[in-house]
Structure 1
Amino acid sequence: MNEIKGIGVSEGIGFGKSLIYVKEEIILEKGKSKDQILQLNKYNEALKTTEKELKHLISHTNETMSQDESAIFQAHLMILDDPEIKENIEKEIANNEYALNAIHKIYSSYIDMFSQMDNDYMNERALDLKDIMTKLIYAVNGKKTIDLSKICKDTIIISEDLLPSEIAKLNKKYIKGIVTEKGGKTSHTAIMARTLEIPALVINNISKLVKDNTDLIIDGNKGVLISNPSNKQVLYYKNTKTKELEFKTKILTLKNERSKTKDNKYIHIASNIGTEKDLKHALEVGAEGIGLFRTEFLFMDRKKAPSEEEQFEVYKKILSSFPNHKVVIRTLDIGGDKKIPYMDFPNELNPFLGFRAIRYCLENDDVLRTQLRALIRASYFGNLSIMFPMISMIEEIRKVKEIYNEEKEKLQKKSEKISNKIEIGMMIEVPSAAIMANDFAKEVDFFSIGTNDLTQYVTASDRMNPKLINIYTPLQPAVINLIANVIKAGKNNDIWVGMCGEAGANSLLLPLWISMGIDELSMSSSSILKARFTMKQIDSSKLKKWKEKVLLSKTLDQVKDSLKVHSYEN
C-alpha cells in the first residue's frame, strides 16, 4: 500500500519529488568560558544579525504575502527583545557559560514549557521560539540558515518541522507540498502554507516512511501522501486537480448570492475570523455576517492586555463592516492550555480541562468587565451578539449575564450610545451543556455549537493525535445525537442555533445539519462559497425520514453509509 495517512493542514493537490530536509545539529560547547566579555559581545552581535534578518523577512513577507504573515516576524522581533529572556541569557554568560550554550539553555526552557502544554496553539508558539533560537545560534557560529528558496524543481519537502522563516522563503512555483512530523492547523507554518496555497500534511515519523528523491502526490484535502504513485493514481489526481481548479472558478459567481437550499430555505453562512485579514477575506467571499470572532488573538503576542479603547476600535470596525448581518463576538477564550505571559495561570496536570475561558474570566472579572464594556459600546455600530465560551453550568451563564447587565447599566447612566438589541449567547462545546441544552436555552438568545471541542470531549480523543483520526470525528453517532438534541432545544425555546466548528463546512454533513433545522453555519471564509454551492443542490423537504435513519445509527460505518445517500461532493 503506497498511501500514507495523516492530517491535512492546508488543502490542495501537488506532484513532486521528495526532499528530506534535515537541519544541522546544534553542537554545544564543552566546559566553561574563560572570557565573559567575548561571549557577551558574541551574543550582542548575534542579536543585531538576527534583528537585521527578521526585518528583512518582515519586508519580504509584506511583498510576497500580507501584513498578517509579516506580523509573525514582528512578534519574533518582540521575543528577540524580550527583557526577561535577554537578562537570563546574560546571567548565564556572567556565570562563565558560552554564548551558544546560554542561548540554547534559556530558549530551550521556554520551548519545553510551550511544547508540553496540551494545546495546539501554544505548541506552535514553541516553533516560533525555536526559529529565533536557531537564528541566534547560527549567528553566534557565523553561519546562515539553509536557504530553501534556491529549490528550482517540483518538490515536496519532508521534515520534522518547518520554521515560519523557512516557509516564508519558499517559492510556490516549485514547492508543491510540505509534510512535517509536528504541527497543526493553527501553526504559523500551516497558516503561511495556506496563504501560499501550498498543500500541507502532518504525518508521524514521515522521515522514516519516505526516502529522498521519491515520486510523491500530496492530497491536503483528504490528508493523504502517495509514494511512488501508479500511472492510474497520477491520472486520477491530475484529473482531480483540473476539476478542483474549474470548481474554484465556478463558485466565484456565488459570492453575492444568498445561501439558500434548492427549495428556497435560507440558512446564514457566516465566517469565523481572528484577524483583520480574515475580515477582509470574509467580505470578499460574501459572508453573511461573522459567526465567530476569536478575541483571544487580540491578547496574544503582546506584553500587556489590550485596553478598552483598543478593543472598542476593533469591535467597532468588525460590526461596521456587516451592517445588515449578525456579528457574533466570543469573549476571551484563554487560560490553562493557552497561557499568556502577562496573565497569572496555575500549573495544571490537565490544562485542557482546567482553569480556562469563562472559568478564568469569572475569577478575573476585571478582564471580562473591560471586554464587555468595549463590546457594549461598539454595539451601536452594528448587530452585536456576545457569546460566552466553555459554559458547563447554569450558574456560570447566570453570573456572566449579571456582570454584563451591571456594565451595561453603568454605560447607560453615562448616556453612552448603545444598541438595545444585543443578543447574549453561549457556545455548546462541553457535553454537560449539550445534555442540558433545554435548560440552558431558557437563559440565552442563541447557541453556537463548537463541534471541534464537543467532538473531542464526547469521544475523549485528542484532536491533534493522528492515531485517533477514526475516533475524533463529528460523524460519531454520540456526537450527532447530541447536536440534534441542542438544535431541538433551540427550536423548543425559540432561540436560534448556529454551528461554528469545522463540521459546519463539511459537505457530507451539510444536508444533516439542514435537516435538523440549523439556523446558521459559520466557517473559515475559504469554505463559504463551496458550502453555498452545496446548499443550492439540497432539497430540505426530502430529508426528514433520512435524518431519522442517520440518528438511529449505532456505528460510525452506519453513519457514513447513510450520509452517502445525500452526498453532494463536487
Structure 2
Amino acid sequence: MESVGGKGIFPGIVIGKPYIDRKKSIDVENYKIPEDKIEEEIERLKGAIESAKLEIKQLKDNLRGKINKEDLQILTVHLMMLDDPQFTTDIKKGIKREMVNAESIVKKVSNRYIEMFEKIADPIYKQRALDIKDISERIINNLVFLSDTYKELDGRILVVKELFPSELLKIYYSGVKLSGIIMEYMGETSHIAILAKSLELPTLMGGHNLFEIEWGDLIILDTSTVDSKVITNPDASTLEKYLILKDKFESKKKEVERNVGLPTVTVDGVRINLSINIGGRLDITEIERKNPDGIGLLRTELIYMDTNEFPSEDKQFKIYDNIGKEFGEDRPIIIRTLDIGADKKLPYYEMTPEENPSLGCRGIRFTLKNKNIFKDQIKAILRAAYGKNIKMMYPMVTTLKEVFEARGILEECKRELREKGIKHKKDLEVGVMIEVPSAVILADVFAQYVDFFSVGTNDLTQYILATDRFSQSAEELYDCLDPAVLRGLNLVAKAGREYNKKVSICGEMAGDEISVLALLSLGITELSMTPPSIPKIRALIRKINLKELQELKDRVLKSFSSDEVRQILLEYMNKIQGEQN
C-alpha cells in the first residue's frame, strides 16, 4: 500500500480501477519532402488546421448549454491561437526551409514556443504553453489521421502527467464517464482545474512521481479533505474505512441537495444572501435548480470575447435586457463593466505589451482610456436597467479620481439618452470592486461616494500578499485565509457598516466552506459564487449559529498565520458537524 499527496480540486471519494496514461504525446516521424511537393505539404497543413478549427467549433456547439459558457471560453482561446498568423507562418516557413513533413515542423515550432513561454516567470504564459501543446497535438492528430478512443476510460480513474482542457471536453462529450483524475501537473487556477470543477469531477493535481508507482488493480482517490491523497493497493482495513467514509460523503451530498429549496438562514435566524457569478449568457434551468438570490457578478468581458469587434450599444442592451427578463426583474443583477487586461485579451484588439500586465492597463484603467467603448456599455446598462433591479460596478478601481471620472462619463451618458428620449434608469446604483490594497485602505472614503462594494478576493489576495495566484513556485504563499487578507476584509466590512453600504464577496472564497466561516465571522453576509457551489454553502449556513461564530472574530484576526486561522475554523466546523450527527 502506498499513499501520494496532492491538491484536491473538486471534492469526492472514489474507489476504483486506475487507467494509467503513460504516453502523453504523439510520436512524429521526420522525413524529407521533394521541392516540388512543398506547396502540397503546406496545403496539407492548412487542411489540418482548418479541421482542428472545425473540431473545436463543433465541440463548442455540442457542449453549449451543457457546460458553463465561461468554462468553454478556453475553446475560443484555442480558435484564436489557430488563427494567429505568427504561429502558422513560422510552421510554413519551417516546411519550406527544411523541406520536411508538416507534422515534424508543427512539433518543432510548438516546442520552441512552449520552451519560450515556460521560461517566463509569469504563470499566465505557462498556461499559454499548455494551450500551445493542446492545439499542436490537435493539428498533428489531423495530419497523421489518429482517432481518439475513450471507451477504455469509462468508469476508471485517469492517471496522467497532464490533461488538455479540450481533451477533457471531448471525453465528456463522447459520453464516457470518468470516475476521477489524478495528474502530476499542478495548476489550481488553470483551465483544466476550472473544467474539472465545472464537471464536478473528483480531481487531484500535483501528485509527484506518479509513473514510478505500482498502481495495482484498485486505488482510492480522496479529495474530500484539505489533506487530499491517492492510496494504491489498499489493505482490507483501509478499504473498509474508506467504504464507510464514502457512504458518509455521499449522504452529505444528498443532504446538500435536499437544502436547495430551503431558505438560506442561520440557526439563530439571520438571512444570508447567496448570489451567482456568471458570464454573458444564462442557463436559466440549471441556475434555477440552485435557487440563487441574485446575480452578484455578471462578467461582461465574455460578451466582448465572443465576437469579432467591440459590441455595439444596441447589441449589449439586448443581451443585458434578456438576462434581466429571464432571471426576473425583482432579483438584483450586478453588471461589471468591461474587465480586460492581464490574462484577458480580445481577439480583435491588440493590447500594448507590458512587462507586468497584472499591474498595467486593465479594468477601469482601460475603459477610462477608451471612452467611446465605455460609453456604449454604460448606455446599454442604463437602458437594460429600466424597470429592473440592475446595478453596475467598476473593476480594478484604485483611486477616487477614477470614481469621479467614471461618474462624469455616467452623467454624460444619462444626458445623451435623455436628449434622445430613450428610457433608462435614472437612479442606477453604482458600486466598485475592491481588489487592490489602496481600495481597502480608503474603503471608508470610497463608501461615501459609491452605493456598494463587491470584493474580488482572488485579485485582492494576490495584491496584498504580492504573490501571483497562478504561480506554482510561490503557490504556498497565496492563501485567502492569511491574516493580512482577513484584516483587509475586516476594514472593508467595517466601512460598509459605518456608511450603511452593502459589502459582498464575489471571489473563490465565497464558494469555499472554511472561507465562508471566516467571512461570516467578520459580519459579511452577502456572498456570490459559481452556481455549483450554492447548495453546499446553503447547507453549511443552515447549521451555523452566527452570533456564536462571530465570537471567533478576534481570534481569527489576531492569528499569526493562515494555518492558525484554518485550525480555528476547522474546530468550529467539526463542532457544528458533530452537533448535526
TM-score (norm 1): 0.87
Alpha carbons of structure 1 residues 21 and 164: separation in structure 2 relative to 1, 3 Å: farther
**Which residue of 1 is the match for residue 459 of structure 2?**
453
Question: Of the candidates 314, 333, 344, which is equivalent to residue 327 of structure 1?
Answer: 333
Structure 2 residue 225 is the aligned partner of structure 1 residue 219 = no
Q: Is the Cα contact below 8 Å between 1:120 and 1:183 reproduced in 2?
A: no
Aligned-partner Cα distance in 2 for 1:430–1:293: 20
Q: Is the Cα contact below 8 Å between 1:335 and 1:357 reproduced in 2?
A: yes
Question: Of the candidates 338, 342, 349, which is equivalent to residue 336 of structure 1?
Answer: 342
Matches within 5 A, 1:308-323: 308-320=313-325, 321-323=327-329
**Which residue of 2 is the match for residue 360 of structure 1?**
366
Q: Which amino acid aligns with 2:103?
A: L
List per-residue Cα deviations over 1:336-373 (Å, max 9, x = no partner).
Answer: 33333422322222222222222222222222222212
1:291 Cα deviation (Å)?
0.8
1:206 Cα deviation (Å)?
4.8
Provide structure 2 residue ranges, at least 5 long, that are not aligned to the other structure: none
Q: Aligned residues, how many?
A: 569
User: Residue 353 of structure 2 aligns to a residue in which SS?
Assistant: coil
Question: Of the candidates 538, 557, 566, which is equivalent to residue 532 of structure 1?
Answer: 538
Alpha carbons of structure 1 residues 329 and 209: separation in structure 2 relative to 1, 3 Å: farther
1:429 Cα deviation (Å)?
1.4
Q: Which amino acid aligns with 1:133?
A: S
Aligned-partner Cα distance in 2 for 1:8–1:435: 34
List per-residue Cα deviations over 1:293-317 (Å, max 9, x = no partner).
Answer: 1112122254322222222222112
Q: Which amino acid aligns with 1:313?
A: K
User: Residue 380 of structure 1 aligns to a residue in which SS?
Assistant: coil
Matches within 5 A, 1:260-279: 260-277=265-282
1:333 Cα deviation (Å)?
1.6
Q: Percent identity?
A: 32
Q: Is the Cα contact below 8 Å between 1:18 and 1:215 reproduced in 2?
A: no
1:268 Cα deviation (Å)?
1.0
Q: Which amino acid aligns with 1:399?
A: E
Q: Which amino acid aligns with 1:293?
A: L
1:434 Cα deviation (Å)?
0.9
Matches within 5 A, 1:384-395: 384-395=390-401
Matches within 5 A, 1:505-544: 505-544=511-550
List per-residue Cα deviations over 1:89-138 (Å, max 9, x = no partner).
Answer: 54555556543355446656766777677776775465444333222223
Aligned-partner Cα distance in 2 for 1:541–1:13: 33
Alpha carbons of structure 1 residues 480 and 45: separation in structure 2 relative to 1, 3 Å: closer
Question: Of the candidates 161, 164, 176, which is equivalent to residue 163 of structure 2?
Answer: 161
Aligned-partner Cα distance in 2 for 1:65–1:424: 31
Aligned-partner Cα distance in 2 for 1:2–1:104: 37
**Which residue of 2 is the match for residue 179 of structure 1?**
182
Aligned-partner Cα distance in 2 for 1:82–1:402: 39
User: Residue 396 of structure 2 aligns to a residue in which SS?
Assistant: coil
**Which residue of 1 is the match for residue 425 of structure 2?**
419
User: Residue 275 of structure 2 aligns to a residue in which SS?
Assistant: strand
Alpha carbons of structure 1 residues 211 and 453: separation in structure 2 relative to 1, 3 Å: farther
**Which residue of 1 is the match for residue 382 of structure 2?**
376
Aligned-partner Cα distance in 2 for 1:94–1:173: 41
Q: Which amino acid aligns with 2:220?
A: I
**Which residue of 2 is the match for residue 203 of structure 1?**
206
1:378 Cα deviation (Å)?
1.0
1:450 Cα deviation (Å)?
1.4
**Which residue of 1 is the match for residue 8 of structure 2?**
8
Q: Is the Cα contact below 8 Å between 2:305 and 2:347 reproduced in 1?
A: no
Question: Of the candidates 547, 564, 569, which is equivalent to residue 563 of structure 1?
Answer: 569
**Which residue of 2 is the match for residue 434 of structure 1?**
440
User: Residue 554 of structure 1 aligns to a residue in which SS?
Assistant: coil
Aligned-partner Cα distance in 1 for 2:458–2:69: 28
Aligned-partner Cα distance in 2 for 1:350–1:307: 30
1:270 Cα deviation (Å)?
0.5
Q: Which amino acid aligns with 1:156?
A: L
Alpha carbons of structure 1 residues 491 and 308: separation in structure 2 relative to 1, 3 Å: same
Q: Which amino acid aligns with 2:230?
A: I
Alpha carbons of structure 1 residues 8 and 370: separation in structure 2 relative to 1, 3 Å: farther
Q: Which amino acid aligns with 1:23?
A: K
Alpha carbons of structure 1 residues 421 and 239: separation in structure 2 relative to 1, 3 Å: farther
Q: Which amino acid aligns with 1:325?
A: R
Q: Which amino acid aligns with 2:231?
A: S
Aligned-partner Cα distance in 1 for 2:157–2:186: 20
Alpha carbons of structure 1 residues 192 and 492: separation in structure 2 relative to 1, 3 Å: closer
1:167 Cα deviation (Å)?
4.2
List per-residue Cα deviations over 1:404-450 (Å, max 9, x = no partner).
Answer: 22112211222221123421111111112112211111121111111
1:292 Cα deviation (Å)?
0.9
Matches within 5 A, 1:17-416: 17-25=18-26, 27=28, 29=30, 34=35, 35-47=37-49, 49-50=51-52, 53-54=55-56, 57=59, 61=63, 76=78, 80=82, 86=88, 89-90=91-92, 92-93=94-95, 97-98=99-100, 99-104=102-107, 124=127, 126-140=129-143, 142-152=144-154, 154-169=156-171, 175-182=178-185, 184=187, 187-203=190-206, 205-207=208-210, 210-211=213-214, 213=216, 215-222=218-225, 224-228=228-232, 229-277=234-282, 280-300=285-305, 302-320=307-325, 321-416=327-422
Aligned-partner Cα distance in 2 for 1:296–1:436: 27
List per-residue Cα deviations over 1:68-100 (Å, max 9, x = no partner).
Answer: 877765775565466675566545555565433
Of residues 504-513 and 91-100 in structure 1, the stretch that sits farther from structure 2 once superposed is: 91-100
Q: Which amino acid aligns with 1:552?
A: K
Q: Is the Cα contact below 8 Å between 1:505 and 1:528 reproduced in 2?
A: yes
Of residues 261-270 and 463-472 in structure 1, the stretch that sits farther from structure 2 once superposed is: 463-472
Alpha carbons of structure 1 residues 324 and 468: separation in structure 2 relative to 1, 3 Å: same
Alpha carbons of structure 1 residues 111 and 382: separation in structure 2 relative to 1, 3 Å: farther
Of residues 24-33 and 269-278 in structure 1, the stretch that sits farther from structure 2 once superposed is: 24-33
User: Residue 14 of structure 2 aligns to a residue in which SS?
Assistant: strand
User: Residue 532 of structure 1 aligns to a residue in which SS?
Assistant: helix
Q: Is the Cα contact below 8 Å between 2:196 and 2:203 reproduced in 1?
A: yes
1:200 Cα deviation (Å)?
1.8
Of residues 386-395 and 24-33 in structure 1, the stretch that sits farther from structure 2 once superposed is: 24-33
Aligned-partner Cα distance in 2 for 1:410–1:172: 52
Aligned-partner Cα distance in 2 for 1:277–1:207: 40
Q: Is the Cα contact below 8 Å between 1:29 and 1:101 reproduced in 2?
A: yes
Q: Is the Cα contact below 8 Å between 1:294 and 1:330 reproduced in 2?
A: yes
Aligned-partner Cα distance in 2 for 1:220–1:284: 25
Of residues 217-226 and 403-412 in structure 1, the stretch that sits farther from structure 2 once superposed is: 217-226
1:497 Cα deviation (Å)?
0.6
Q: Which amino acid aligns with 1:261?
A: T
Aligned-partner Cα distance in 2 for 1:432–1:68: 29
Of residues 147-156 and 54-63 in structure 1, the stretch that sits farther from structure 2 once superposed is: 54-63
User: Residue 218 of structure 1 aligns to a residue in which SS?
Assistant: strand
Of residues 410-419 and 47-56 in structure 1, the stretch that sits farther from structure 2 once superposed is: 47-56
Alpha carbons of structure 1 residues 154 and 145: separation in structure 2 relative to 1, 3 Å: same
Alpha carbons of structure 1 residues 553 and 58: separation in structure 2 relative to 1, 3 Å: closer
Q: Is the Cα contact below 8 Å between 1:172 and 1:196 reproduced in 2?
A: no
Of residues 106-115 and 412-421 in structure 1, the stretch that sits farther from structure 2 once superposed is: 106-115
User: Residue 444 of structure 1 aligns to a residue in which SS?
Assistant: coil
Q: Is the Cα contact below 8 Å between 2:187 and 2:472 reproduced in 1?
A: no
TM-score (norm 2): 0.86
Instruction: Give the alignment's Cα RMSD to 1 decimal.
Output: 3.4
Alpha carbons of structure 1 residues 510 and 66: separation in structure 2 relative to 1, 3 Å: closer
Q: Is the Cα contact below 8 Å between 1:118 and 1:337 reproduced in 2?
A: no
Aligned-partner Cα distance in 2 for 1:414–1:543: 53
Alpha carbons of structure 1 residues 552 and 135: separation in structure 2 relative to 1, 3 Å: closer
